Structure formats: structure tokens, C-alpha cells
Structure 1
Amino acid sequence: MHAILWRDGRRLSSFRAILALLMTSALGLWGYISVQNWAGAASLEDRDPWFAGYVDATATPVFAFEDVDAAGARDIVLSFIVADPQEPCTPTWGTAYDLEEAAVELDLDRRLARLEQLGADLAISFGGLLNDELATVCTNPAELVRSYDTVIERYDVTTIDLDIEGENLTDSVAGQRRAEAIATLQERRRDAGEDLAVWLTLPVAPFGLTEDGTTAVQQMIEAGVDVAGINVMTMNYNDSKEQGESMADASIRALQATHRQLRIMYELADIELSDATLWRKIGATPMIGQNDVVDEVFTLKDAEALHDWAVEKGLGRMSMWSLNRDVQCGPNYVDLSRVSDACSGFPQGDVRYADILAEGFAGRLDASAGIVTTPEPRDPADFIDDPDTSPYPIWNEEASYLAGSKVVWYRNVYEAKWWTRGEIPDNPVLNEWETPWVLVGPVLDGEKPREIPTLPYGVYPEWDGTVIYDKGERILFDGMPYESKWWNQGDSPEAYAADPDSSPWTPVRLEEIQEILIELEETPAVAPSGEEPTG
């Protein structure tokens, strides 16, 4: 496991369509719609979150995952099932052993039976970075379904993990083939009364899933797969991590961005899910200790910070790469920046990362595998904006908004990142840089409208069309301050709203306006000569 935009063609979801209809009809439909229409079925929020560390089945030395002292009899994600280089539709463990060979040479079947005796559950992971995931090279749909099913039946698992990265992820044709095969397999098993939870494990950056990652998720959803969740590899960020940013903070940013992307992907599929349910559909998998990027080390402090945040948010899954590595390197392992399969590369002493990350994730793999994703439609009446209870103006398609402006839309507050006009605040784009708006948070109970700050007469001269203005000069126009971008005469600041690039004027940022008002309040009034100061 290693970590290394949305396409055009947006559509209006059923929720948006109904909401728009309700708003335009002033709730005229409300008496017709029964409450039951908006009461969702059982929610994923009730699913207990679980922890399962990855185990590299073919790593040397062999890791005794069935040993209580080594793994604590915890649930594990055994990796990786990949295609045989000579027989593309034949599943193997890391190309080194087919299933029968693994039973003999690794004694795998017996060790897994022992794991089950100890009360632990098992998930099987397909893919990884180094070899071909089955769907990448097995092009016969029926054979591909049979290959997946062979592994599932052999090890009697109810949860599979599709670790899709590298060339396996960039191959969208293979992605479609994979999605259709998994959809067929899941449908067959559910029709037979058997569970099959499908997790997608994908690379992530602090800005969220890559375009290839979001495509993989969409392919699964559109093919009809009930995706149990998206497990992101919070590791190996390279240049996407800010300088000085901790691994925990970068990981938290990545998970927040993934949550936003997942909400939009389900919304575009006309599946309404609550925020809490979406968090339950997200997992985190840090690479403990030394990452593949030399200057990236996931410390015990990072583990504690990420764990605490994940528990608070209600993530559905916590994993780690890997249980094989959850031990301090011995004195003979000199170069700790060189990643080892058998130790973390971090001075962890007797403390285990698994003990930190697993706390509070008390659910079990098998118990969560039976959850079926059920849409949770929301009551549109809860999202109709009322000017009398909104702290900021309700977004208007015809209005222009400066950087820093705040608006209300569907009972949420958004802030403009740059000048914008006509772009809805909750436009379903998968990448934050595609929208001029950032979500601040919901409108709170009891809030009232806030006044938009303007500057009093006399702070700057009023705009005069006959005056020549040099670059940097400021004026007032309808109480709003503007600054000249270049020499001009006769160009009204009002034109800025229609064409900001061509206008010689740019509005002064709201933050600076507020600072000016504070300075005015703190500065004593100066009376004309011969008079006493007043006020």
C-alpha cells in the first residue's frame, strides 16, 4: 500500500428539484406531502465503527497475525490478492502464491482458522501498488466475477477491500470492468441472503481524492454497487502537504475534503445521505512511522491526534499500514528513513500504534457487513431561507459578491474566496478550487440579520466623474470604498459588478473596512479650530 475532477455534465438532483419547486410555490405542496415521505429508513449512523490493521501476507519475515501477543486477536485486512502474471484471471497472493500454494507454504488456511477461533474477523484486500489488480488484466467479465468469488468463498469473508492505486487506478476501462463485476457479485450474494461489504481504498491528498479516485467511486455507484465506504490512504503527501504541517493535520484536511467529495458524489447519484452517515462511510489508513516520503513521519503524537479527531467525527473505519510494522526497529536497522516491512522506523518503545488507533473503534467487520445503504431524504422545509433569521444576505443570482462576502444558502453560511456572480454556493463540484465559495457552517438558532459595514461620509472623497484618479487613490461610492487600479477619469465604480477585470476600480476588502471602522471608533473626534471637541 502506497499513496501516490469532476467531469462536466452536472444535473439537478431530485432533492434540489423538489426544494426549488417548494420554494417557488411558497410551500403550497407541503399539505400534500406526507411526513412519511421524508422519514428515512434505518441510518448508517447506528453502525459501530471498527478497526482492522492491514497485514502483508507475503512480507518477510512472516507476520504471525494469528498470535494474540502479535496482533491482539484483532480484525485484520489481509493483503494483497492480485492477478497471476501468466494467468490474468487467476488470483494470487502478491504473485508469489496461488491460493493452494499459500495454504501449503504459508499454512494460511490453518492460521486463518486459528484467527477465527480467537474471535477475530477477516477482510481480504485486492490490489495494492506493485502488481496488477484482477480487473486490470482479466478482461473476461464472467471470469473476473468468478475470480473474485473464488477468493471470497475460499476465505469465507463478508468484507472485501479494493485497494486501487497506481496504474490500476488510472486505467478507467479496468475501473468500469471492476465496478460491473463487483456489482454482479454483490447482487448475487445478497439475493442468496449473504452479506458483502465493499470498501474502496484510494490515495488521497490534503485537497481530497484525485480525479482518478473520484472516477473510481462514481463508477462503483453508477454500476449499482452498494459501497460500504471509502478508505483513504492518509500517507505519502509529497508537495501537497503544507510546509510545517503535521501528518495528523494533513490527514484531517484530506478526510474533510473526502467527506465533501463523497457527499457530492452521492448527491449527483440522487442519493441523499446525512453528514453523519457519510462520515460512517469514510475510513482512514495512515502509514505508521516512516512513510515512503523521506521527510514524512507519522508519529505516535500524530496517531493520537488523528484518532481523537476521527472518534469525534464518527469515522466508520480506522486501519493502518501495517501490523507487520507496528514495532520499533532494532539496533541493527541503521537507516530509519528506509522503509521496512518489519518495523515502523520511529522510536515507539513498547507502545503500539494499533493500541492508539483502535481505541473507541469497537465494532466488528462481520457486524457492519450487513448494512445496506438507505437514502435519507431531508425535509425541504428545513432548507428554506428566511431573511429574518439569516445572519447574512440570502444568495442572489444577480448580485455580485466580493472576496470575503458571506451569504446564506439552504440554511448554510458560505464565504466568497474571490469576486463572484451567478455561481451558486453549493454547486456540486468535487474540487474546492472549482468553486468561489467555501462552506463556513449552518445558520444557528436565534440568529438575526447582520448589517453590512459601510464607511461614513468624509473617510474618503465621494467619487466624481470629472476628477482624474491615479493608481492607489481611494473613493467612496454608495458608502463602499474603492481603490483605483490605474489612472482613470469618468469610469464609474458601478461598472465593477458587471466586468471587474476591465474596471479601473476594485472594492476594498470587507476585512479592511472593518479595521477602518474600528480605528474610527478608537480615534477621538477632532473639533474645528476654536471649538471644543464633542462626542
Structure 2
Amino acid sequence: MINIRGAGPGNEAGSTPPRSPIARIGAALRGEGMHTRGLSSPLVTAGAIAAILASVIFFWSWRSGLDAGASNPTWFAGYVDVTVSPPYAFEQASTPSTKDVVLAFIVASPDRPCAASWGTGYSLDEAGRVLGLDKRIAALRSKGGSASVSFGGALNTELASSCQDESQLRVAYRDVVERYDPAFIEFDLEDANLLDEAAGQRRAKAIAALQGDRGTSGKKLGVWMTLPVTPRGLTDPGITAINQMLEAGVDLAGVNIMTMNYGASRSGSQTMSDAATAAADATHDQLGILYQRAGINLSSEQAWKKLGVTPMIGRNDLPGEFFDQDAARNLKDYALNRGIQRLSMWSLNRDVPCAPGANSDAASHICSGLDQGNTRFSELLGGALPGRMG
């Protein structure tokens, strides 16, 4: 088990740990944390009742989410880099394993810090006009497919890092959710976006509020976090990001780990397949600890159902790292054996061999860098899986 003692906010010596939903109910019954000065007894009682009801609703929605996750079998959804040219025709849903997609990436507009854009190149309206994105999502759904939306990525600025106003940030997230009605949203947090703890606090508060708004109207909003790992599990900034979400009351569907670009953290004797499974084993243990700190005791099965694994197929960005077809087969077998919730891959755009004469020394946005013949990584990872993205 990875030792993550002291990681994340709110864990300094002498600080008060975050309360679980059950603890919040008890506190409300006792009147703790309520500012009652100058209020009459009936008003205090009404406030306590409202707090109790809100806590009960929150707890049972959170608990039912854990129970639902435990029964949902492993599913696959590949990423689609929306702004790469030539575009990947995800709307064709040509095979069962490509019917569910994660569209990437929503980031801050370069000239409007609280406005969402696709890869800084297209506003939401421009993506509809120029890329035909809205119509393509509708076409995918008409074929029985499903789309989710990813915020962040490695190259640009995630909205919470750019937008300093929490209310405007909440509106920006809401605009994306209401426009695309995604199966879930996720936050791919890397580099500066992951290290910005103030942004993490804004993000967590905005998403908790948005989940609450959606819940009030009878709509569920699934939220995933996609984070970097080493073979030893989540990094300290990743642990902090999860803590921030849980402490804000966000109901996380799961944590998706990026099993790629390990660099020096992977030993020379460790294959990419071994590194991926080691990272997943360690993250499973870390999630158990993080949820326990938040007042939720996950069973081992529930912890696996809170986990997703995403390799970068073919040539990775760092020298000497290749995720090949055997690694894909091994990872799928491992995921099914453990009962992992989600498998993904970066990316469907890359799931073809490179053309003859292409640069073989760098990872490409549009091909894998491996001689994969007619075999597709999407089939190796996602073929015949029992679950569906949701």
C-alpha cells in the first residue's frame, strides 16, 4: 500500500478532518456549526430540519452511486482529439468498441478567461458551425453511441486555472453540460493545471454546486478525474486534487489514471504492461484511504469500481516507451479480473499505423507509431466488454 499520509489539504497537524455525510447529519441534529445568534427557536428548528434533509439526500445519493458502481461491469470509451486535423469521424460509430467516446479537450478561451473553448481554437458555437460538432454528437447518439466531455489536457489552460470568479466558472461548466448533455464530464489535470491548488478549490466548489443544481432538477451529473501516475500510484498533486473534490462534496464517479509517459519512475526491467497494472494496484489502495478520510469506507470491489485506466497506445511521448498490442491484451484481462470500472485509450485518432515515411522518432497525433496491421487497439481494449459508458 502506498503511504500517502499528510498529502492533500486539510491534513496538517491539529487540523479537523472533513466530515462524512453521516457526521454532517449528526452535527445538524445537535445544532453544531449553525449561526443561531438572534434567531428565534422556530427558525433555528426549521434551519436544522432543512440541514438534516439536505444531508440525508446527499448521503443517500452518494451511497446509491457507490452501490450502482459496484454493479456496473467494465466498459470502454476511447478519447477523440476533437481539434486535430484530419478529424476522426467518431459519429460513424463503425464498431461496437467505438460507440462510446470521450471528446477532448474543453479549455479556457485565450482571450476570455471564463469562456469555454475547444482546444483554444473554437468557441462552442464555432465548433458547431466549423466542426459540425453538435450534429456529429447527435448522429453518434442516433446509432446507439454516447459521448462524454473532457476538460483540461496537457497543452492548454483548464477553466478553473484561468477563471478567478467562482460564479462565472460555474456558468462556464454549466454551459458545456447543458449544450452537450454528456454521459459524464471529466477533468484531465496535468502539469500547471494540476499544481494550481487555488484553481482546484474553485473547480471543486463549482462542480459540487453544479451537481447539486442538476440533482435538484432530477438529472445526474457524473464526474471523473483523470490524473497522472507512476508505477507507485497517484502523485501528491493528484491526491490533493481528489481530496479537494471529496471535501467539497463532489460525488466522483471515479478516478481515471493515465498509464503513460512514466519516465524515470519506471524501472528498466518493468514493461509498460507491468507499469500499468502496478499503478492501478497502488491507486486502488490509495482510493480506499482517500475515501476513508472523507467518511466513506469502500470495499475492495467498490474501490476497483472507482478506477479507470488509460494507456497511450503505441509510441508514447517519452523515448523508449511503447504500449504495444500484447500490453493491450494484458491490460484488458487485468481490468476484467479486478473488476475495474473503465478502460480508455489515447486516442482513437491514433488507432492506425503511420504512413510509410512518417517521422518515426516522435509520437504522432494521428497514428500509433507501431506496425499494428489491421488490428485496432480499440478492439483489443474494448471488444466484447460487458458494460457501457454511463
Q: Do the aligned residues in 2 keep the contact of 1:83 with 1:132 (CA within 8 Å)?
A: yes
Partner SS state of residue 365, structure 1? coil
Describe the SS at the equivalent of 1:328: coil
Partner of 1:354: 378
Residue aligning to 1:364: 388
Distance 1:70 1:43 in 2: 27
Instruction: Report the AA paired with residue 226 of structure 1.
Output: D
1:58 shift after superposition: 0.2
The code of the aligned residue for 2:361 comes to: S
Shift of 1:44: 2.9
**Shift of residue 43, structure 1, vs aligned partner:** 5.5
| 1:218 and 2:233 aligned | no
Is 1:344 aligned to residue 361 of structure 2? no
| Whole-angstrom CA distance in 2 between matches of 1:271 and 1:337 | 46
Q: Which of the numbers 105, 116, 128 marks the counterpart of 1:91?
A: 116
Query: Which deviations, in whole Å up to 9, do the C-alpha atoms of 1:77-132 show, x marking residues without a partner?
Result: 00000000110111000000001111111111111111011110110000001111
Paired residue for 1:296, among 321, 328, 335? 321
Q: Quote the Cα distance in structure 2 between the aligned partners of 1:190 and 1:168.
A: 28
Q: State, as a whole percentage, how many aligned pairs show the same letter.
A: 46
Deviation at 1:365, TM superposition (A): 2.3
| Residues 419-430 of structure 1 mapped to structure 2, 5 A cutoff | none
Residue 139 (structure 1) shift = 1.0
* Alignment-derived partner of residue 30 in structure 1: none
1:415-473 Cα offsets, whole Å, 9 max, x none, are xxxxxxxxxxxxxxxxxxxxxxxxxxxxxxxxxxxxxxxxxxxxxxxxxxxxxxxxxxx
Deviations 1:344-380 (A, max 9, x none): 00111000001011135332223xxxxxxxxxxxxxx
Give the letter aligned to residue 103 of structure 2.
L
The match for 2:32 is: none
C-alpha distance in 2, partners of 1:72/1:125? 19
Q: Which AA in structure 1 matches 2:122?
A: Y
Which moved further from structure 2: 46-55 or 5-14?
5-14
Task: Give the number of aligned pairs.
Answer: 337
Match in the other structure for 1:151: 176
Letter aligned with residue 189 of structure 2: I
Taking a change above 3 Å as real, the CA distance of residues 353 and 105 of structure 1, as seen in their structure-2 partners, is: same
CA distance 1:267–1:212, shift in 2 (3 Å): same
SS in 1 for 2:387: coil
Report if the CA contact (8 A) 1:336-1:346 is conserved: no
Report the alpha carbon displacement of residue 45 of structure 1 after superposing the two structures with TM: 1.6
Alpha-carbon shift at residue 157 of structure 1 (Å): 1.5
Distance in 2 separating the partners of 1:143 and 1:359 = 41
**Which letter maps to 1:343?**
C
Which of 133, 142, 146 matches 1:121? 146
In structure 2, the CA distance between the partners of 1:250 and 1:89, relative to structure 1 (3 Å rule), is same
Could you tell me which runs of 5 or more consecutive residues in structure 2 were left unpaired when the two chains were aligned: 21-62
Q: How far apart are the structure 2 equivalents of 1:200 and 1:6? A: 21
Segment of structure 1 superposing worse, 60-69 or 75-84: 60-69
Structure richer in helix, relative to its length: 2
Where does structure 1 lack aligned partners over 5 or more consecutive residues? 16-39, 367-535
- Residue 145 of structure 1 and its aligned partner are, at CA, apart by 0.6
Q: Quick one: distance in 2 between partners of 1:107 and 1:13?
A: 44
Q: Is the 8 A contact 2:18 2:247 kept in 1?
A: no
The 8 Å contact of residues 288 and 322 in structure 1, kept in 2 or not, is answered as yes
- How far residue 72 of structure 1 moved from its aligned partner, in angstroms, is 5.5
The alignment partner of 1:69 has SS state of coil
The CA distance in 1 between the partners of 2:384 and 2:353, in whole Å, is 24
Matched, 1:285 2:310: yes
**Any conservation in 2 of the 1:291–1:298 contact (CA below 8 Å)?**
yes
Q: Which residue of 1 aligns with 2:42?
A: none
Kept in 1, the 8 Å contact 2:189–2:225? The answer is yes
TM-score by length of 1: 0.61
- Output aligned runs, 1:259-278, within 5 Å: 259-278=284-303
Deviations 1:164-217 (A, max 9, x none): 111000000100110000000011101110011000000000011110000000
* AA aligned opposite 1:359: G
Give the Cα separation in 1 of the matches to 2:17 and 2:191: 33
2:86 matches 1:61 = yes
Aligned to 2:160: 135
Cα distance in 1, alignment partners of residues 17 and 245 from structure 2: 20
Correspondence for 2:280 = 255
User: What code does the residue aligned with 1:113 have?
Assistant: A
Amino acid at match of 2:181: D
Whether contact under 8 Å (1:73, 1:119) holds in the other structure is: no
Q: Is the 8 A contact 2:75 2:389 kept in 1?
A: yes
